Amino acid sequence: MDAGVKGARVLLGVTGGIAAYKAASLTSALVQRGANVDVIMTAEAERFVAPLTFASLTARPVYTSLWDAPERIPHIRLVREAQVVLVAPATAQCIAKLALGLADDLLSTALLAARVPIAIAPAMNATMYEREATQEHLAILRDRGCTIVEPEEGYLAEGERGVGRLASEERLLETLERLLTPASLAGMRVAITAGPTREAFDPVRFVSNAASGATGIALAREAARRGAEVTLLLGPTQLEPPLGVRTVRVLTAQSMLDAALAHAIGSDVTIATAAVADWRPTEYAAQKRKKDAGVLDVHFEQTPDVLAALGDRKGETFLVGFAAETQEHERNARDKMRRKHLDAIVANDVSSERGFGLVENALVLFWGNDGRKDLGRAEKDVLAARLWDAIEGIRACS
Ligand code: CTP
């Protein structure tokens, strides 16, 4: 499925607030991700940033007036060609005009003529933002289906602190990704386990592995973009969980199991990507172990198998496991699928640690008696989209 900002036509409206300079960085990020960006600036925006900035970043003309080339009716053409419109930053004035249907310049006429999804990212002084007038206008726009990307709290240009800073670039990009991705998982509950676990044997030492959680994070992000309600059970990792996902942090195999039993049972789809530690020390020393003893004598026992426990209580959940294998991938993966009562399993070749931490990976999906789909070698976010396409396809046929 083609989705996301890559190759998409984005119409960016820039209005006259100090945060207009951040729209330039956003434009650059969109262009780098392969989006085709048209920019409309209001006259007030031009006081903060020159149109040349956006023209240089997009390598396209920037539109500032209804009257530059009236024979081309730019407000209609621009919104007809766009797949999504984002106004960032959106001033109180722009929000009020859109709520009231006022159309007296290029941007407001274009917004009124738009039939594609509209996202509005307010940025203004905190008092102006909190005013009833602004909040009522935003409520009207929300009711009409506009996506409001709420401003953030922090330092404001006038030296005050409060809610009014333009949403972060990451949130703006994620909003566009979501609006451009078909909501094929809308109404579905998805649970995903991700990351390593840590099994401690004293207050400062533990056994773990090199998993980063990147695959599970990419799958959670993609499911949220497709409209699912996602819970991510995430072990210790440096990576940030995705936006728009409920993240439950866990540390040990036991806490991963507890969280899975509390949050994954009854979901529509559960995917277990976590590299749960297979063994844990049988004893935990309350004080840091001293080196005097010479040899470190630690005994290990097996940890609970989170996925097998979910398989035993599967119900209607479509349960997908991962199989980290170094040899006989298909045979070992199918064996795990049967043992853990899974609907499908993804074989991940970890010989030479190919799957751990890296951005790229190579996956093959197996299901049923002979279902097999090679998802190829690609970056983890591309593989996440392919895996969700495959899961949706299998579920649609069953
Ligand atoms: N898994 C789990 N809990 C464990 C071990 C594994 O939930 N304690 C899940 C993993 O998230 C993965 C699947 O089980 O989805 C298979 O994990 P893998 O490490 O490939 O296999 P193991 O079951 O640990 O078996 P082995 O190490 O013998 O290959």
Task: Map 14-39 to HEC letters.
Answer: ECCCCCHHHHHHHHHHHHHCCCEEEE
Q: Where does the pLDDT of residue 354 fall: very low under 50, low under 70, confident under 90, or very high at 90 and above? A: low
Domain membership flag for residue 240: yes
Contacts 24+ apart (CB under 8 A), 102-107: 105/42, 105/43, 105/65, 105/66, 106/40, 106/42, 106/63, 106/64, 106/65, 106/66, 106/74, 106/75, 107/13, 107/15, 107/40, 107/41, 107/42
Does residue 125 carry a catalytic annotation?
no
Are 202 and 151 part of one and the same domain? no
Find out whether the beta carbon of 321 lies less than 6 Å from any atom of ligand 1: yes
Are 158 and 33 part of one and the same domain? yes
Domain membership flag for residue 3: no
Which of 215, 322, 341, 354 to mutate to test ligand 1, by most ligand atoms within 8 A of the CB atom? 322
Distance 270 CA to ligand 1 centre (A): 14
CATH number at residue 110: 3.40.50.1950
Domain membership flag for residue 2: no
Distance 345 CA to ligand 1 centre (A): 11
Question: What pLDDT score does 160 carry?
Answer: 86
Cβ within 8 Å of residue 289, ≥6 positions away: 201, 202, 205, 296
* Cα separation, 114 vs 128, whole angstroms: 26
Place of tokens 């499925």: 1
pLDDT per residue over 40-53, tens digit each? 999 999 999 999 99
Distance 305 CA to ligand 1 centre (A): 7
- Average pLDDT, whole number, for the chain? 94
Averaged pLDDT for residues 305-317: 97
Q: Where does the pLDDT of residue 398 fall: very low under 50, low under 70, confident under 90, or very high at 90 and above? A: confident
Domain membership flag for residue 1: no
pLDDT per residue over 116-175, tens digit each? 999 999 999 999 999 999 999 999 999 999 999 999 999 888 888 999 999 999 999 999
Nearest in space to 219 (alpha carbons), one of 379, 5, 387, 3: 387
Give yes or no for residue 71 having a pLDDT over 70: no
Question: What pLDDT score does 21 carry?
Answer: 97
Distance 221 CA to ligand 1 centre (A): 22
Are 322 and 379 part of one and the same domain? yes
Looking at 180, 212, 240, the residue that finishes a domain is 180
For ligand 1, atom 8, the nearest C-alpha belongs to 305
Question: What pLDDT score does 356 carry?
Answer: 58
The residue segments making up the domain with residue 89 are: 9-180
Are 17 and 91 part of one and the same domain? yes
Domain membership flag for residue 28: yes
DSSP state, residue 146: P
Averaged pLDDT for residues 191-208: 97
Looking at 155, 180, 205, the residue that finishes a domain is 180
Distance 324 CA to ligand 1 centre (A): 8
Contact 164, 123 (CB under 8 A): yes
Q: Where does the pLDDT of residue 112 fall: very low under 50, low under 70, confident under 90, or very high at 90 and above? A: very high
Domain membership flag for residue 241: yes
Are 319 and 251 part of one and the same domain? yes
Q: Report which ligand 1 atom has the smallest distance to the Cα of 193.
A: 11
Are 19 and 168 part of one and the same domain? yes
Question: What pLDDT score does 294 carry?
Answer: 84
Are 174 and 195 part of one and the same domain? no
Which of 232, 306, 330 to mutate to test ligand 1, by most ligand atoms within 8 A of the CB atom? 306
Find out whether the beta carbon of 16 lies less than 6 Å from any atom of ligand 1: no
Find out whether the beta carbon of 278 lies less than 6 Å from any atom of ligand 1: yes
Which of 263, 276, 350 to mutate to test ligand 1, by most ligand atoms within 8 A of the CB atom? 276
Looking at 180, 207, 224, the residue that finishes a domain is 180
Q: Report which ligand 1 atom has the smallest distance to the Cα of 310.
A: 7
pLDDT per residue over 21-36, tens digit each? 999 999 999 999 999 9
CATH number at residue 335: 3.40.50.10300
- Name the more confident of 293 and 254: 254
Q: Where does the pLDDT of residue 359 fall: very low under 50, low under 70, confident under 90, or very high at 90 and above? A: low
Give yes or no for residue 304 having a pLDDT over 80: yes
Q: Where does the pLDDT of residue 353 fall: very low under 50, low under 70, confident under 90, or very high at 90 and above? A: low
Domain membership flag for residue 130: yes
Number of structural domains, the chain? Answer: 2
Are 226 and 325 part of one and the same domain? yes
Find out whether the beta carbon of 253 lies less than 6 Å from any atom of ligand 1: yes
Give yes or no for residue 69 having a pLDDT over 80: no
Are 98 and 16 part of one and the same domain? yes
Find out whether the beta carbon of 336 lies less than 6 Å from any atom of ligand 1: yes
Give yes or no for residue 351 having a pLDDT over 90: no
Find out whether the beta carbon of 305 lies less than 6 Å from any atom of ligand 1: yes
* Cα separation, 86 vs 258, whole angstroms: 41
Question: What pLDDT score does 191 carry?
Answer: 98
Averaged pLDDT for residues 96-125: 97
Question: What pLDDT score does 392 carry?
Answer: 98
Give yes or no for residue 3 having a pLDDT over 80: no
Domain membership flag for residue 361: yes
Share of residues in the chain with pLDDT > 90 (%): 86
Question: What pLDDT score does 327 carry?
Answer: 85
Are 171 and 199 part of one and the same domain? no
Instruction: Tell me which amino acid residue 148 is.
Output: I
Are 157 and 245 part of one and the same domain? no
Distance 240 CA to ligand 1 centre (A): 23
Are 253 and 364 part of one and the same domain? yes
* Cα separation, 119 vs 142, whole angstroms: 10
Find out whether the beta carbon of 303 lies less than 6 Å from any atom of ligand 1: yes
Point out the catalytic residue in the list 36, 125, 209, 369: 209
